[in-house]
Amino acid sequence: MTQDPGNGAVSKIPSAIRILVAEEEPEIRSYLDVALRWLGYSADFTGDGEEALARLREQGADYSLLLLDVIMPRKDGLETLREIRTFDTGLPVIMLSSRSSPVTAADAMKSGSSDFLVQPVSHEDLSKAIQKALRLRHVEPESGSAGHPSLSDTSPVVSSSWTKKLDLFLAPVGSSEVPVLLQGETGVGKEVLARQIHACSRRAKKPFLKLNCAALPSELVESELFGYERGAFTGAFRSNPGKFELADGGTLLLDEIGDMDFKLQSKLLQVLQDGEFLRLGSNEICRVDVRVIAATHCDLDQAISDGRFREDLYYRLNVIRIEVPPLRERHDEVLSLAQFFLKKHTPPGEAPVEMSSSLRQTLTAYDWPGNIRELENVIRKLIALRRSDLVVEELKQAASRRRAIAAGSSSRQGPNLRLESRLDAPLLNFEDGARRFSTEKWHSPEHASAQVSATNGEECVDSALDPSILRKVDEARKQAETDAILGALNATLWNRKQAATLLNVDYKALLYKMKKCGIGNKTVRASAL
């Protein structure tokens, strides 16, 4: 049932999602009524905060969401929100504000708002905010209360040796307040696990925010984490809170922590130690209570040895360390995950796609280099094509290509060249099955007497050597580097971060080597043949 905002008439709208709107202005009420109807939601309207509170106390279980205006008579939006949180901490609330309002997003978030929209708001922005808020409600830990679906409603239900081990310590890890370090390959589900840990904690009803440290330049990562004041840098036209402020009382996931700039790591360490920091351009200390979960695909021990990661920060983050295994080591989960993704991505009203026995066998036998993320994309393709045989054929071809690439890379060596092991560290290394590729130092056997010595950290070549020999050695070394890089890139389907991990080198070092060797997107097909 929906109350018309204009004349109070009630009309029937078939919708499972019922939204309460607290808005004083008749024009905005009319717009929101049309927008919510068009988006398929049922809506009730109130004109002030007192009436909204009365509705929620009487029939709060009937509402899935509250749209709350900041400026209202009798009781404003922030005051109303704070009072709502005294008796209902799980109801998603989206604050609506005008451009001239003194209330900021930080004020709304600290009071318990799920999102903050500045009017006028488009249908698209309104739809995204509502869907996001409803998803947040679905990860609440309560499982029996009406209107509060459990985490299992939005997470796959699987039974495997890994999940059984996980179930044993998920609750105690979640209920603790210590930092957690999640390590595993890209796409194994580290973010999903982080959300489960948050949902099992006393912070479950507080914000869960995420920042990918590898997706932004270090300067932007700093401003995203700590916020900034107006005029702190060019383009800072107004003050803006950072992730730490917005996540106060909740959990912050720092994804790809291994790629964080070294200088920024010291500032993060200070926040973890003291719980306080300075906004960019400010002298006022901000104090927060945030639980940090860090995730990375990098080998942090190696990063510490290479001088790319602070050892003290590592020990601060590594209180509880969880190694998330790749999907190729969790084959007993594949079919359960596939069924979950089928249910998740099948459009409403459309008949689900049946997986053939051949497809089930192929999914189980496939090694999934892209892990769960690749599996999800395969299932989305199955839903779009509705042809199990096409998906089976494509997976078999992908597996054959990788085997051929790996075999070609292992056999591709320069003529009459041998690998001479040395005490100094190799330039590049990567493993492919039982074979190990290396470009430590390559020499021509016809000139085995060639001597290379090191003086003051720089290589000095015996002046008696023929320059043509040195050229051949250098060309052979470059060819070996190129072969090793191409082998790693092709083995990871040209995922450069995964290739850097295979080669055991820094990501930026790999990019530099690719540029130096002339390896780009145009060389993919030629090098794979």
pLDDT at 15: 44
Query: pLDDT at residue 389 above 80?
Result: yes
Distance, CA of 431 to CA of 438 (rounded, Å): 9
Report residue 393 CA to chain centroid gap. 30
Contacts 24+ apart (CB under 8 A), 219-223: 221/260, 221/261, 221/264, 222/264, 222/267, 222/280, 223/280
Please check the confidence at residue 403 and state whether its pLDDT lies above 90.
no
Six token digits for residue 466: 């023929």
Lowest mean pLDDT among 81-90, 221-230, 255-264: 81-90
CATH of 328-399 among 1.10.8.60, 1.10.3720.10, 3.30.420.40, 3.40.1710.10: 1.10.8.60
Residue range 51-57: mean pLDDT, rounded: 87
Using pLDDT thresholds of 50, 70 and 90, give the confidence band for residue 529. very low
CA distances from 7 to 3, 10, 30 (A): 8, 9, 11
Q: How many CB atoms lie within 10 A of CB 209?
A: 19
User: What pLDDT score was predicted for residue 417?
Assistant: 33
Handedness of CA 304, 309, 310, 313 (dihedral sign): negative
Residue 82 makes CB contacts below 8 A (sequence gap 6+) with 111, 112
Q: Tell me which residue of 174, 164, 238, 261 sits closest to 506, measured CA to CA.
A: 261
Residue extents of the structural domains in the chain? 2-138, 151-325, 328-399, 412-528
> Is 0.75 surpassed by the pTM of this model?
no
Lowest-confidence pick of 172-176, 474-478, 519-523: 519-523
CB atoms near residue 482 (< 10 Å): 21
Instruction: Confirm if 37 and 43 have CB atoms less than 8 A apart.
Output: yes
pLDDT score recorded for residue 468: 65
- So what CATH class is 151-325? alpha beta
Q: What is the average per-residue pLDDT within 154-177?
A: 72
Token duo for residue 368: 């999934």
Counting residues of the chain whose pLDDT is more than 90, the rounded percentage is: 23
| pLDDT category of residue 523 using cuts at 50, 70 and 90 | very low
Give the pLDDT of residue 127. Answer: 85
Would you state the structure tokens that stand for residue 277, as one six-digit string? 């920091």
Are 231 and 207 within 8 A, CB to CB? no
14-18, 363-367, 391-395, range with the lowest pLDDT: 14-18
Q: Which of 20, 19, 28, 9 is nearest to 51 (CA)?
A: 20
Per-residue model confidence (pLDDT) at position 144:
32
pLDDT of residue 317: 93
Comparing 151-325 with 328-399, is the CATH topology the same?
no
**pLDDT, averaged across the chain:** 76
pLDDT band at 103 (very low <50, low <70, confident <90, very high): low
Is the pLDDT higher at 421 or at 64? 64
What fold is seen in the domain 2-138? Rossmann fold (3.40.50)
Which pLDDT does position 291 carry in this prediction? 94
Give yes or no for residue 4 having a pLDDT over 50. Answer: no
User: 236-245, 268-277, 464-473: which has the highest mean pLDDT?
Assistant: 268-277
126-158 per-position pLDDT tens digit: 888 888 877 765 433 333 333 333 333 445 555
3-state helix, strand, coil in the chain (%, to 5): 45, 15, 40
Whole-number Å distance between alpha carbons of 494 and 416: 29
Distance CA 53, CA 60 (A): 9
Tens of pLDDT, residue by residue over 208-227, are 999 999 888 877 888 889 98
Torsion sign, CA atoms 55, 57, 61, 67: positive
Report which secondary-structure segment, H or E, holds 478: helix 467-491
DSSP notation for 194-212: HHHHHHTSTTTTS-EEEEE
